[in-house]
Amino acid sequence: MGQRGKKAGRRRKQNTVVSLFSGAMGLDLGLESAGFSVRVGLEVNKVAIETIKANRPRLPLIEKSIRETSAEEILEKAALRKREITVLAGGPCCQSFSTAGRRRSLSDDKGSLFLEFCRVVRETRPRFFVMENVKGILSAAVKHRPLDERGPGFPPLSADECLGSALERIRAELAKLGYYVIFGLLNAADYGVPQRRWRVFFIGSRDGETVHMPRPTHCAPAQRKAKSGMRRWVTLRKALKGVRSRKWAELSKDRLHLVSRLEAGQNWSDLPVRLHRKALGGALDSWGGRTGFCRRLRWDEPPPTLTTAPDGRATMLCHPTADRPLSIEEYAVLQQFPKDWKFQGSITGQYIQIGNAVPVGLGRSIGRMLRRTMASTAQRGLTSTNYLRRGRVECADPELKEWLKNRRKTQLHPPRLRKIKDVELAREWLRASA
């Protein structure tokens, strides 16, 4: 083997990735495109396993829950030893923290998978770890109390029921690992992904290396004057140019009737008032924007976060002009999967796999940042400053840091939906809550 071949072999051995909660491998593909090599995947979902096998038949794969998997088994399957993993990557199940779900948070069986991720970090000691989750993790409580059980007439909130308590618990657990950890909120559209998808990333360094959130490369058209040198967000029109759609979920007759009355960029609020109840059902009596109901997308901007059910009543992502949801092929393009990537399972199962994935371009940006960090360390070496960072968990975004500092402790129904509507009693209840 020539000198160049030997160097490439060493890089592949050094830049190793162990993938947990692999899913359809969006994050892994992004890290690979940045120069890393996935050595093993771990996935429990049978359909996602079939997708991985269809595309990466030679990839060692652990086909069971992380709870049933020891660190020794992961290392053995990856043909690595403790401390030899470059990046341990994964997104523990996020539904428990999503604002679209029941938000049972860390008290939920799935929410506690975060602790299993920490266990594997603790027992394998990778050089870096990358953990991804939904934006809702920033405001979730350790114990979720339904809105109908808050306010006057109910007990004050405990500390674990306050907004943000889950994040504080997560930060405390990460600090115990002895890593230097940063976290921030990233919008995928800022990194060339044709999608306005907000996700929280936690990035940890075992040796206190200088990790940071990747610098954005794109921005909204209105921001270009203030952010010179950046490219415009990738629009839906540009992303879907030339895409041939073959598979999509069929809308029900009622939803098709409503959507057919809308133009690109419109939603339920643009329908005649007499149709609002039909479009929203019981949600008409609630509050909030409810923008996902009967929603047609715009051509001239990136779409919002791809949901796992683009045909759902509250999560609709309808094509701007065709009377159907975005297709499987369009979903895959918007998440930046390779053209030849094969998704297995039913159409519903494919939507779930693609919708849950990290966009490839976002994973690539994280990977490139880590590569730059590694190159800097190789050039300058580690110092006492690096080691003194270990055990610190810091917010890497000044704006987010300020928001976290000033966030409210809870949220109440508007007075019209409360059991006791007195405003002063509501203020007293808020003051009494931890």
Distance of CA 170 to the CA centre of its chain: 16
Kindly state the tokens that stand for 48: 């996602």
pLDDT for 420 equals 87
Mean pLDDT of 26-53: 98
Distance CA 417, CA 192 (A): 42
One domain, residues 64 and 146: yes
- Please give the single-letter amino acid code of residue 32: E
Task: Tell me, yes or no, whether 366 lies in a domain.
Answer: yes
**pLDDT, tens digit, 9 for 90 and up, residues 67-90:** 999 999 999 999 999 999 999 999
Mean pLDDT of 129-145: 93
Task: Tell me, yes or no, whether 6 lies in a domain.
Answer: no
Mean pLDDT of 400-426: 88
Cα angle at 410 between 409 and 412, to 5 degrees? 150
**pLDDT, tens digit, 9 for 90 and up, residues 304-316:** 999 999 999 999 9
Catalytic annotation on 219? no
- The number of folded domains in the chain is 2
**The last residue of a domain, from among 356, 388, 416:** 356
C-alpha distances in Å from residue 177, one per residue of 115, 118, 395, 396: 11, 7, 17, 19
Question: Rounded to two decimals, what is the model's pTM?
Answer: 0.91
pLDDT for 107 equals 54
Mean pLDDT of 317-326: 98
Mean pLDDT, all residues of the chain? 91
pLDDT for 73 equals 98
| pLDDT beyond 50 at 9 | no
C-alpha distances in Å from residue 23, one per residue of 50, 134, 136: 10, 15, 20
Nearest to 85 by CA among 225, 198, 206, 195: 206
One domain, residues 350 and 363: no
| pLDDT beyond 50 at 26 | yes
Distance CA 34, CA 130 (A): 14
Task: Tell me, yes or no, whether 425 lies in a domain.
Answer: no
pLDDT for 8 equals 45
One domain, residues 313 and 368: no
Task: Tell me, yes or no, whether 434 lies in a domain.
Answer: no
pLDDT for 262 equals 97
The CATH number that applies at residue 387 is 3.40.50.150
Task: Tell me, yes or no, whether 421 lies in a domain.
Answer: no
One domain, residues 172 and 187: yes
Distance CA 86, CA 37 (A): 9
One domain, residues 78 and 216: yes
Exposure class string for 382-408: b at 16+ Cβ within 10 A, else e = eeeebeebbeebebbbeebeeeeeeee
One domain, residues 253 and 152: no
Mean pLDDT of 387-412: 93
What does the DSSP 8-state code read for residue 162?
S
**pLDDT, tens digit, 9 for 90 and up, residues 234-253:** 999 999 999 999 999 999 99
The CATH number that applies at residue 325 is 3.90.120
pLDDT for 411 equals 86
Distance CA 74, CA 67 (A): 12
**pLDDT, tens digit, 9 for 90 and up, residues 248-285:** 999 999 999 999 999 999 999 999 999 999 999 988 88
| pLDDT beyond 70 at 105 | no
CB-based contacts of 428, cutoff 8 Å, min separation 6? 152
pLDDT for 101 equals 44
pLDDT for 203 equals 98
- Please give the single-letter amino acid code of residue 52: I
Mean pLDDT of 166-182: 97
Kindly state the tokens that stand for 121: 């970090």
pLDDT for 97 equals 47
One domain, residues 401 and 364: yes
**The last residue of a domain, from among 314, 335, 356:** 356
pLDDT for 225 equals 59
CB-based contacts of 244, cutoff 8 Å, min separation 6? 329
One domain, residues 300 and 327: yes
CB-based contacts of 397, cutoff 8 Å, min separation 6? 184, 185, 213
| pLDDT beyond 50 at 1 | no
Question: Whole domain around residue 377: which residue ranges?
Answer: 13-231+359-406
Distance CA 306, CA 331 (A): 7
Task: Tell me, yes or no, whether 429 lies in a domain.
Answer: no
Active-site option among 93, 94, 294, 395: 94
One domain, residues 255 and 321: yes
One domain, residues 125 and 104: yes
Task: Tell me, yes or no, whether 36 lies in a domain.
Answer: yes
Gyration radius of the chain's alpha carbons: 23
| pLDDT beyond 90 at 98 | no
pLDDT for 103 equals 46
pLDDT for 434 equals 67
Work out the burial of residue 110: count CB atoms within 10 Å of its CB; fewer than 13 is exposed, 13-18 middle, 19 or more buried.
middle
Task: Tell me, yes or no, whether 4 lies in a domain.
Answer: no
Residue 207 CB neighbour total at 10 angstroms: 14
Distance CA 114, CA 173 (A): 9
What does the DSSP 8-state code read for residue 172?
H
Mean pLDDT of 322-343: 98
For the chain, the residue count is 434
More confident residue, 331 or 112: 331
% of the chain at pLDDT higher than 90 = 80
% of the chain at pLDDT higher than 70 = 92
One domain, residues 95 and 207: yes
pLDDT for 11 equals 44
One domain, residues 263 and 114: no
The widest CA-to-CA distance across the chain, in whole angstroms, is 80
